[in-house]
Structure 1
Amino acid sequence: MEIKIDDLTGHDVIKLVGEHLQGMGVHSPPESIHALNLEELKKPDITFWSVWEEEQLMGCGALKELDDQHGEIKSMRTSSLHLRKGVARELLGFIIAEAKRRGYRKLSLETGSMDAFKPARKLYTSFGFQYCKPFSDYKEDPNSLFMSLDL
């Protein structure tokens, strides 16, 4: 698996981000969707990575800088062709290492409270993330759960 910074211009990456947004729409009401579109993912406070095996896109994820000590995980998605191959685990470990390298003291995320998000929540807890109150600009929402990891 190769994880590399991505400029979000490749067809496969654009398609995967679209699938991510569509998936959020299936499982969450519109007011509870916090996934970012392509233009939002290109903002300077966000680093976006894609995961590849040779020419096949396996997944993606991003790290948003909230401040110089706090980052947020965004847009974690494994391609449906590569589920249960350890893509998300590899990428999450990579993002945590990058957050530490940047000197962040905390890494946070928002995910859905519905059953469809249970595998993601299980992954995050396996890395030591704990449930927390909303952070940054988030508000309490019965469709959202918030997690953080002290680094």
Structure 2
Amino acid sequence: MQHLRIIEDDLSGEPIRELVALHLSGMHAHSPACKVHALPVEKLRQPGVTFFSAWVAKALAGMGAIRELDATHGELKSMRVAPDWLGKGVGEAMLLHLLSVARARGYERVSLETGSGPAFAPALALYRKHGFENCAAFADYVLDEFSQCLTLRL
């Protein structure tokens, strides 16, 4: 893969807005509407959320965000790889970048909520490869057959 560049992003560009829309539609396609916790652009711009995009030259390759839950706990949000970049290491690079941000902020752990089923298997494999383990629900999440929470102690 060519050089991947990850930058903090203000979500103003059309390519990133399209990838956020793709992410939201994908989540709705694989989960009941009441279990879709992916954030639209407006909520990704809220205080406490830092959003990043990944680029190869001028091509958008992926995105991810981290939200501060408290001074010691961060949450991963909106992890998505653009379709043309699936399987090329973009998701892992974004995950490692977000974990680096979390460590720099002094978080003791990072958690995430994700879905269940075959559509979520590649993401789950990536998170588990990097040490994430299932955990109890956190923030406002409720665990059921459609949702699972994972955490990583830093």
Q: CA contact under 8 A between 1:58 and 1:82: conserved in structure 2?
A: yes
1:148 deviates by 0.1
Corresponding letter in the other structure for 1:21: L
Q: CA contact under 8 A between 1:59 and 1:77: conserved in structure 2?
A: yes
Instruction: Give the Cα–Cα distance (whole angstroms) in 2 for the partners of residues 117 and 139 of structure 1.
Output: 18
1:115 deviates by 1.1
Instruction: Give the Cα–Cα distance (whole angstroms) in 2 for the partners of residues 150 and 125 of structure 1.
Output: 13
Matched, 1:133 2:146: no
Partner of 2:69: 66
Partner of 2:98: 95
Aligned length: 151
Matched, 1:123 2:126: yes
Which of 22, 29, 38 pairs up with 1:35? Answer: 38
Report the secondary structure of 2:66's partner residue.
strand
Q: Point out 4+ residue stretches in structure 1 off by more than 2 angstroms.
A: none
Matched, 1:5 2:8: yes
Q: CA contact under 8 A between 1:13 and 1:57: conserved in structure 2?
A: yes
1:67 deviates by 0.3
Identical positions, percent:
46
**Structure 2: gaps of 5 or more residues:** none
Report the secondary structure of 2:64's partner residue.
strand
1:141 deviates by 2.2
Report the secondary structure of 2:126's partner residue.
helix
Partner of 1:26: 29
- Note the aligned Cα RMSD (angstroms): 0.5
Q: Which shifted more, 132-141 or 108-117?
A: 132-141
Q: CA contact under 8 A between 1:32 and 1:141: conserved in structure 2?
A: no
Matched, 1:76 2:72: no
Q: Deviations over 1:13-47 (max 9, x none)?
A: 00000000000010000011000000000001100
Instruction: Give the Cα–Cα distance (whole angstroms) in 2 for the partners of residues 59 and 7 of structure 1.
Output: 14
